[in-house]
Structure 1
Amino acid sequence: MRNEFPDLPFVLFTGKGSEEIASEAISKGVTEYLQKGGSTEQYEVLANRIEQAVARHRAERQVARGFRAIETAHDGISLLDNNGRFIYINDAYADITGYDRKELIGEHWETLYPDDEVERVHEEMLPEARDDEWTGRTVYVRKDSSLVTVDHRLSYTKDDALVCTISDISETKQVREELSLKEQAMDAAPIGITIGDTDGADNPLIYANGGFVDLTGYPREEIIGQDCRFLQGEETREPPVAEMREAINNAEPVTIELRNYRKDGEMFWNRVSIAPIFDEDGEPDYFVGFQQDVTEEREIQERHEEWVEMMQGFGQLLSHDLQTPLDVIQGRIELTQETSEVTHLEDAQEALDRVEELIGDVADVMQTGELVSDEEYVDVGKLTKEVWQTLDVGDASIKIADEIPDVYADELALKRLLENLLGNSLEHGEEDILVRVGRLDDEPGFYVEDNGPGIPENERTDVFVPGFTTKESGTGFGMASVAQIVAAHGWRIRVQDGINGGARFEIFEIKGT
């Protein structure tokens, strides 16, 4: 493990130990060696050692990060002892002064100043730095004797070491302009941008741009120090959160979409992309996140999926509804062929007219995206009589009440509904089939009932599910078509007991009757 993770804390907690094992473990780089004891107190010791090891590792990592930041800083940084001699300089300091780092170590600061500036350092700069801090501009003499003007900052540490920070004015201006442009670009970006620090628990945010403020409704002061989980809420699903958490734990980029909540409680779909920023050792230093409101995209996608699902279901149901007139056509053609009596073709013509109506219905649905479009007041009793005359009713009889109210409906869709309900009674009935159609007594609506075998209570909900049928030759789409047309009108349907235990379908909550 040490070959791959040389600095990771490793506690060896062993049941059997010896000086030899302890010596070998220490030589191989364990952080702590601890032998199990006969009581549970040793587990408290173990927990304490783990906490100490983790805290020490994090502190060392923070120091290492700080040192790397100093080493790679654009500004020149140096450290001088209480005698004024250099004990440390970074690369930028050496570049600005023109010296190699080792050439300045041990040298006095006066090496870098023109003679007329030395007195100013002693009389003004160092005393102010001793009190608090001195900032200003000075002139340095580079190794090649050329002069360079620098922005200069001096301060003392608690142990009396002098910290000196310098930056070349020309380079500083260029760097500041570059950084300013990047910050302006990030803050003006039309999407949310955040930066999380890996050193804190749960990667607290240390930066949030204006886009993130606008997206979430939270002010910056309420964002900084938080982790992005504060946007999650009741409808936030766990799978995308778990996927994001795993990617962060593995320091891998990830893009997910999840439900988040603004400060005012409004839910929105957030497309979150997170990518790690690595340090020189390949360790994740920060995580940059990009957030985008994709609520409208999701709604369009969901509407598209609903449309596809509706059209698929509509195609199946329409195929079922077309079967009845096609059966009539085929039967009449066969009778014509057998008897040579062309009068049978008159019934076939009526069925063809019905097919034409259904095809027109398809065209309307495809054009408008709605099963119900052209609504008007329709005489249910009259339409029921027309439908009954197109069906192969045999010896069956029908009673249509006179007081059925007109309903505001798409006539073609309502015609399909009646065809299915009446056809269902004819299909499931046996002898002396009786169908009645009338108005509901207690609320606006109408019913279609028969004296057939009826529908058991435990199947009265399933009967409207596409594909559900109690007959071997049935398609299971007749009642699904009825339910779809009822829902498209905004009505409701329920199944009750009909004539002598038969089936009764009640269409209710019909407005405008």
Structure 2
Amino acid sequence: MTASITVLHVDDDSQFAEMATRFLERENDRFDVLTATDADEGLETLRERTVDCVVSDHDMPGRNGIEFLEDLREEYTELPFILYTGKGSEEIASKAVSAGVTDYLQKEPGTEQYTLLANRIENAVERFRSRRDARTHRRRLETLVDNLPGIVYRCRNDPGWPMEYVAGDCEEITGYTPERLESESLAWGEDVIHPDDREAVWTEIEDALAADESFELTYRIRTAAGERRWVTERGCAVGSGGSDGSDAPRLEGVITDVTESRRRERRFEAIFDNTYQFTGLLEPDGTVIEANETALEFAGVDRESVVGDPLWETPWFERSEGGPAIAREAVETARKGELYRNRATVHGADGDALIDFSVRPVRDETGEVTLLIPEGRDITEFVEQKRRSRRNERRFEAIFDDPNLLVGLLDVDGTLREVNRTALRYVDADREAVIGEPFPETPWWGDDRREDVERWIQRAADGDYVGYTVEHDTDEGEPSVVEGTFRPVTDESDAVTAIVVSGSDVTERARRERELKRQNERLDEFASFVSHDLKNPISTVRGRLHLALETDEMEHVDQAVDAIERVDDLRVDLASTLRTGEIVDERTAVRVSEAAEGVRSVVDPPNAVSITVADDPVVDADPDAFQRLLENLVGNSIEHGGSDVDVRIGALEEGLYYEDDGPGIDPDHRERVFTPGFSTKESGEGIGMGMASVRQIVLAHGWEISIADAEELSGVRFEIRTGGGS
């Protein structure tokens, strides 16, 4: 036995009772000891709590222990009662036995007495529970036997089990008359017992006889008509000697037809072992008799730990909030003959679960409630699904009424069932004109999109989540862009029942994305151009430092410093551009002659190129960007015309021109000169970024640039139109 034992200790000495409680619970961890200080309090406790054993002192105020026992026996006839007294005598012991005491023990000094008392309590409770279980089993068995038709028999104990005497419902059960069963022509073991069960029946009966025990077994028979039935046989050996004069042992017993009962048992077993339902059996007072594997596994307990306990003290209910009260109410309702049904939260090994809980009364033929059947079905997921469904409904309603979303509801075949006002306004359509129509044929889609929409609907009907982006032509010429989804709606079995189509106008976002892409492309080009523009001053620094090392002339160091300062200017320009996203920063009036002087500082060797500025034009420009523009033009002239090339810069009516006396640019190449990566050098040494950088700076200022033949020199001429006077 592993079930807990509740002990009521009645003693007017509260200190002694407290000490005894501690020692008893230490001796046996199954004990739960309650205390009372007199008989009245003890009886009150018995009415409120389920107690397995009472331990009582004798000498107490009011009623003594014997009187307490006599009162107790009027209501609790078999409850174990141990008289544990410090004043022992034969007279007290005799009265206690007469009153129905279970055991008698005298208090002794020392702690050994508590070990003895604990053993006496445990033994008394075990005997009481064993008698109670046996009595219950016997009562049920007698009730079952008394209400079943049967055959009374006497036979010889050999494999054929020839019958010597048969009476009762022989013909109703077997189809054979008693006379036929008693005849030599028919043997019960060979002709009636099913062939597949004969060996097992013989073995089980012989094992019981060898152990000098009675036997009870269930097996199949074949009737005279060939029908198969189930019977239960109960019997025992009754000695030897029969009408035939042999000494073979005789068996006597009863055979009952349990075919229908067997069918009911199998149906009950199917229900009881239902893996989706908690099922059990209770006494009318709520004591657990049985629980199925589903319920046991849910709580993480074994059968022995719950059988014998009240339902409200089992792990399912005791550990859940409000559980004991619900279990008590359910038992009280069912024991009155009424079905109890409600939702309850029960505790499991992996947490709590919400169950559809019921307790059903079972009545006997007199109408008395003899059993209770508690059942529970886990509805946690079902309830959560309903909550999710309701949440989804509310979300759908919110989405459907969103003025920024185009929303429609389709059947699985693509028929439009509902659409919101936002979507109708988007295409200026009437609701009546589109409801019930195939969705691909509605005004939201053109003929060129019909196949796409049909494919998206089919994918959603198959359970896929489909995203789409489409463009619609507008009167303004700029297309509007709609982005959305085809989303399947499923039921509890995951079958698609509908399709929700949603979309939102993302035209402005698409425009911003295109602008951002263009800006990023310009910045990428700018980074390439800056890398190119850094080449000249870095080359100057490197060359001048080498010359300084070779000649010890500080002039070269000064030139290197000027070039480094130019690199720093480019660094600042780059940082500003990356920070603002603009290639051209704040503009100011730039005198071309001053910008040309800055260019000379990065030409190596300095002043090798002749730069003439006529009319000294002034432009409204970003100073650093404009100087990079001139550096690239001068660098291009040196690259193609040599370091002694002549350059002339002058004013135009709306801008300025730049000329050199280099080889010029073939008219066939002029359209490609400003393309990144294009170079006119046959050697392939040029990287083609300088003139692209010039064009980028010109465009960033909002200017225009073109190429022509030089008018005053012999090379190429660039004309930059700034849109204003110089």
Scaled to the shorter chain, the TM-score interval is: 0.5 to 0.7
> 1:154-181 deviations in whole A, cap 9, x for unaligned?
xxxxxxxxxxxxxxxxxxxxxxx99996
Higher relative contact order (CA 8 A, sep 6+): 1
Gapped regions of structure 2 (runs ≥ 5): 1-389
Partner of 1:353: 565
Q: Which of 670, 674, 680 pairs up with 1:470? A: 680
Q: 1:474 to 1:263 in 2, by over 3 A?
A: closer
- Asked if 2 retains the 8 angstrom alpha-carbon contact of 1:317 and 1:477, the reply is yes
SS at match of 1:273: strand
Query: In the alignment, what sits opposite 1:364?
Result: 576
Q: Distance in 1 between matches of 2:535 and 2:483?
A: 47
**Aligned mates of 1:508, 1:266 — CA distance in 2:** 31
Contact 2:677 2:688 in 1 (8 A): yes
Are residue 210 (structure 1) and residue 421 (structure 2) matched?
Answer: yes
Q: Give the 3-state SS of the residue equivalent to 2:677 in structure 1.
A: coil
Displacement of 1:204 in angstroms is 5.6
Residue 456 of structure 1: aligned partner: 666
The answer as to whether partners of 1:495 and 1:506 remain within 8 angstroms in 2 is yes
Q: What corresponds to 2:716 in structure 1?
A: 503
1:248 equivalent to 2:461? Answer no
What CA deviation, in whole Å up to 9, does each residue of 1:209-256 have, x standing for no partner? 1232355554535654464663467xx9x7x88655533355554212
Residues 263-274 of structure 1: pairs in structure 2 closer than 5 A: 267-274=479-486
- Cα pair distance change 1:229/1:423, threshold 3 Å: farther
Which amino acid counterpart does residue 676 of structure 2 have in structure 1?
P
* 1:267-282 map, 5 Å: 267-275=479-487
Alignment of 1:8-407 (within 5 A): 184-189=397-402, 190-196=404-410, 203=414, 205-216=416-427, 218-221=429-432, 223-224=434-435, 225=437, 227=440, 230-231=443-444, 244-249=453-458, 251=461, 252-261=464-473, 267-275=479-487, 287-392=499-604, 395-402=608-615, 404=617, 406-407=618-619
TM-score using structure 2 length: 0.40
Partner deviation per Cα, 1:259-303 (whole Å, 9 max, x = no partner): 125698873221131245689999987643111122333234334
Tell me, which stretches of 5 or more residues in structure 1 are unaligned?
A: 1-176
1:379-419 CA-partner distances (Å, limit 9, x unpaired): 12332233234312665322211152x21111110010010
Normalized against structure 1, the TM-score is what? 0.56
Rg larger for: 2
The structural deviation recorded for 1:335 is 0.7
Q: Which amino acid aligns with 2:603?
A: L
Report how many residues are paired.
327
Distance 1:192 1:316, change over 3 A: same
Which whole-Å CA distance do the structure 2 matches of 1:403 and 1:179 have between them?
75
Contact kept, 8 Å, 1:215 with 1:262, in 2: the verdict is: no
Residue 110 (structure 1) aligns with: none
Tell me whether 177-186 or 457-466 shows the greater mean CA deviation: 177-186
How much identity, in percent, do the aligned residues show? 35
Equivalent-residue separation in structure 2 for 1:422 and 1:484 (angstroms): 16
CA distance, structure 1, for counterparts of residue 392 and residue 640 of structure 2: 80
Paired residue type of 1:357: D
- 1:435 match: 647
- Cα shift at 1:338: 0.4
Match of 2:73 in 1: none
Deviation at 1:319, TM superposition (A): 0.9
* Equivalent position of 1:153 in the other structure: none
How far apart, CA to CA, are the structure 2 residues paired with 1:308 and 1:370?
A: 10
Deviations 1:84-137 (A, max 9, x none): xxxxxxxxxxxxxxxxxxxxxxxxxxxxxxxxxxxxxxxxxxxxxxxxxxxxxx
1:320, distance to aligned residue in structure 2 (A): 0.8
Could you tell me which of 682, 685, 704 is aligned with 1:492? 704
Q: For 2:477 and 2:429, how far apart are their aligned partners in 1?
A: 11
Matched AA of 1:508 = R
